[in-house]
Amino acid sequence: MAAVEDLLEFLPGADCRQCGASCAEFARLLLARELTPEDCPVLHEPDYAGFIEALHELLGPLAAAAGMRIDPEKCNGCGICVAMCEFHLGNCAAARLGKGPRPQDQVVFRVVNGTVVVVRQELCTRLVQAAEKCSKCAQYCPTEAIELF
């Protein structure tokens, strides 16, 4: 499991507090899954290309996010779930145009280094729908990598 020091290697170290915290506090919040790498605005600058993906790799997938499990062994990174997600289609302009989400877009999951990674599982519409729960990501996944429960 990654430590704060590992994550700090891929944070700007500027302590600019645009995220509301110092870089070290931000790293602790990443480990606690209260923030995601996308929440640091500085990491979206070209100088830090690849850092967000590296942080996701260090943090690893959310192994057993409530209500959703993605098997990294089965996922081939095709991105169909990202394109079909009901939340993405309703809230992400790029997804509505058939494009992949931009780094700053709020998404349930995104493809990082060839595997889908859960970023904000709490955005999944299953958590707010009382009836007719969405299951599109699992339904369309060609490798049956997504389990919803």
86 vs 105, beta carbon nearer ligand SF4: 86
Nearest to ligand SF4 of 106, 125 (CB atom): 125
Token pair for residue 128? 């707010």
**Least gap, CB of 12 to ligand SF4 (angstroms):** 4
Residue 144 C-beta: closest distance to ligand SF4, Å: 8
- Per CB under 6 A, residues contacting ligand SF4 are 11-12, 14-19, 21-23, 26, 40-42, 70, 75-81, 84-87, 108, 111, 116, 124-126, 134-137, 141-143, 145-146, 148
For residue 80, the minimal CB distance to ligand SF4 (Å) is 4
Cβ-contact 143, 75 below 8 angstroms: yes
Local structure of residue 11 (DSSP, 8 states): S
Question: What is the C-alpha separation between 85 and 27, in angstroms, rounded?
Answer: 28
Angle of CA points 41, 47, 50, to nearest 5° = 80
Residue number with CB closer to ligand SF4 (21 or 62): 21
Question: Which candidate, 33, 34, 39, places its Cα nearest to that of 17?
Answer: 39
Which is it for strands 68-70 and 109-112: parallel, antiparallel or unpaired? unpaired
At 99, list the tokens. Answer: 């494009």
| CB-nearer residue toward ligand SF4: 102 or 148 | 148
CB of 58 to ligand SF4, least distance (A): 14
